[in-house]
Structure 1
Amino acid sequence: MSRVSKVQAEENRASVVAAAAQLFRERGVQGVSVADLMKAVGLTHGGFYKQFASKDALVTEAAERAFIDRDAYLAGLDEGHPDRVGARKAMVEEYLSPEHRDDPGTGCPSAGFAGDLAQAAFEGNVSSQQAYAEGVQRFADWMTEGEDDGLVATCTLVGAILLARATSSTEMSDEILRAVRDSIGESLT
């Protein structure tokens, strides 16, 4: 049996973390087994434990990765707009869209990890909750303009997308997206 190089091992680890960040948001942490995850990246189940101490450790890294990717997306919005108000308006439009609602795997980690990390409180996975809290705080900071409270806007956005996903087969889902998009859009000046 051949050994993989250090570089290949690091690439494999990064692939597992990226796949976990997507799959956990799509199916939930409990909906993705280690075997499923490793199969998705073309690696063996046994290789997981050479890279990660536990699935909980991977949850923390996957959440961190998802938030880093989201931070890069927000930075791109800042670069593409002359001011933060324009960037925030563009983000709200995209965030509260049917496309974002229907693609949780590449969507907002604040919404994608919320249910699982609420459960983690009862299971003692403090590191994943800390990573999540830090990511939510960065989102809220980005949403803050002047004296306004970006945390309120962040909570409103995340709640809206969760409710829209939970009602996606009904007319109410589009109503939620529209109502919150209009309400937050009016508040952005």
Structure 2
Amino acid sequence: MKNLLVALFSIIALASCSTYESEVPLGNPGDTELDDKFLGKWILSEEKKTEEVSGHIEIIPFNRQEYLVQIIEYADSTDYLESILNFRMFPSKIKKDIYYNLQMLGTDEKSSFLIYKLKAISGNRYKLLYLAKDHFEKQFNSTGEFRKYVESNQKEFNKTFMTEGVLSRKVEK
């Protein structure tokens, strides 16, 4: 069985062919308040499966405007830590929708932004949606230009998101 979390690592770390990359974020850090309900440990799984994964995603406050997202993977379902990827993330609210700007930390070159959305399912479960490169190809020179486009075309923009999986709060044993 292919590890579902490894699939997420690959998508984010390598900016897979299907994930849209932007040189500019959709908003600026601090434009939208952080929501404490997203802090903590999360598991990403496929929509229809609840299989065991060998890692988790931890979201902690990075500063007052941004989250630190750590993707933590363990080797072979053991306690041996295999890898940790660090990202900064901050929300951008446009009308009633909140989008999340995600950027990898620690790379030598300028890292692009990936855009995500969450759709509440129930309780501590959310559908994780990513902006798909196959459905959205526009590039923007500034955050203001990107934001203005989304404000004017939000309904069409929201149709360009695809399902990554389901985020569920990790239950500690």
TM-score > 0.5 by shorter chain: no
> Which protein is richer in helix relative to its size?
1
Q: Which has the higher contact order (CA 8 A, sep 6+)?
A: 2
TM-score after normalising by structure 1: 0.26
Rg: which structure is higher? Answer: 1
> Which protein is richer in strand relative to its size?
2
